[in-house]
Amino acid sequence: MRWKRVVWAGWLAPALGGCHTPGAPGVPELPSGGLVAHTQAAIEHRIRADAREAWKAVRAEYPRRCFTAEFHDGFLDGYADHLDRGGDGTPPPTPPLRYTRHARYFTPEGHVLLKDYFLGFKYGADVAVATGQRQFLTVPVLVPDGGSAALADVVTPAAPPTPPSDRAAPLPQPLPPPNAVPKSDQPAAPPGPSLSKFPESVAPAALPVSLPVPRLPEPPAAVPTLPAHVPTPPVTDDLPLFRPDHDAPMPMPVVHPDPTR
C-alpha cells in the first residue's frame, strides 16, 4: 500500500505545485480576466442606466409623441450599442429573440411593432451621438503630430567645424552664490493687507464643472403625435400609447368621483 501512496504523491505534486501568492484575507480572488469582466459589466450597467435617463429626457422634451413599448426597447438598445460598441445607428438585421419567440409579432400588427423597434434603435443611437459620451468610454492614445512619420529617426546634420583663432579665450565669470538676493538702494515696502477673499489657512474649493446640455434630436416623423383631445401622459409612462395600427384612440369619458361615497 505504501508504493501506491508514493505514486499518488508523484501524480499530485505537479498539480499542487507552482507559484501562488494568496491575496489579502477577506478579499475574494478573481480568476484570470475576472477583473476585466467585472469592469466591463460595471460599464454596461452604467450605460443602461444612462440610456434610461436619456429616455426620460426624450419623454420630457416630446411629451405628446406616441411612443410604443417596442420603440422604447429599441431606443435603449441603440443608445447602449453606440456608447458600448461605437455603433453608427444601423439596426440589427433581425429583431431580438424576445420578439421572435412570440406569435403575436408574426401578424400585420406585430410587424408594425417590429418596425417601431428598428425606429427606436436608430433614434437611440442618434441621441447617444448627440450626448458626446462615447469619447469618454474609449482608451485615449497619444499620437504625435505628423502621425507615424514623426516616429522615424530624424538625422540632424553635423555643425561645421569652427576655425582656430589667435585670440585667447575669455575667462569665465564667477557664478553668484546660491540663493543670493540682489541688493537694492530703496527701502523695503511694509507688508500690506492680503487681497485674497479667503483666509490664508483655508484653501478655496474647486469650482464645479458644468457640462453643456445637448440638444435632443427630434423623433422620427413616423412617430405620430397625440390628438388634441388626448391628455398629455406622465413622463414615467413607458406603456404603448397607440395601438399597433397607429390609429388615434377614442376619447375616454371623464368620470367624476361621487362625493356621497
Percent of the chain predicted with pLDDT > 70: 50
Residue 225 DSSP label: B
| Structure-block grid coordinates of residue 45 | 450597467
Q: How confident is the model at residue 7 (pLDDT cuts 50, 70, 90)?
A: very low
pLDDT band at 238, cuts 50/70/90? low
Q: Is the pTM of this model over 0.75?
A: no
Q: Can you give the pLDDT at residue 127?
A: 92
| Whole-number Å distance between alpha carbons of 138 and 86 | 9
Distances (CA, A) of 227 to 30, 63, 119, 218: 56, 12, 21, 18
Chain centroid to CA 69: 25
Q: 34 burial class (0-12, 13-18, 19+ CB within 10 angstroms)?
A: exposed
Asked if residue 150 has pLDDT above 70, the reply is: no
CA distances from 116 to 66, 83, 217, 238 (A): 11, 21, 17, 14
| Joined grid coordinates for residue 147 | 502621425
- Beta-carbon contacts of residue 121 (< 8 Å; ≥ 6 apart): 74, 75, 77, 78, 81, 89, 91, 92
110 contact partners, CB below 8 Å, separation of at least 6: 102, 104, 244
Domain boundary assignment for the chain:
37-138+218-248
58 pLDDT above the threshold of 60: yes
| CA-based nearest residue to 114, from 70, 66, 65 | 70
Residue 82 has pLDDT above 60, yes or no: yes
Task: Give the dihedral of Cα atoms 142, 145, 147, 152; nearest 10 deg.
Answer: -100
What pLDDT sits at residue 6?
46
Cβ-contact 63, 232 below 8 angstroms = yes
User: Quick check: 151 pLDDT over 60?
Assistant: no
Which residue would you say has higher pLDDT here, 203 or 21?
203
Long-range Cβ contact pairs of 229-235 (< 8 A, separation 24 or more): 232/63, 232/64, 233/63, 235/56, 235/59, 235/60, 235/63
Residue 236: is its pLDDT beyond 60? Answer: yes
Query: Letter for the amino acid at 255?
Result: V
Largest Cα–Cα distance of the chain, in whole Å?
A: 123
CA distance 61 to 55: 10
- Beta-carbon count within 10 A of 74 CB: 27
Q: How much is the average pLDDT of 84-110?
A: 86
Residue that has been written with the C-alpha cell 511694509 in this structure: 190
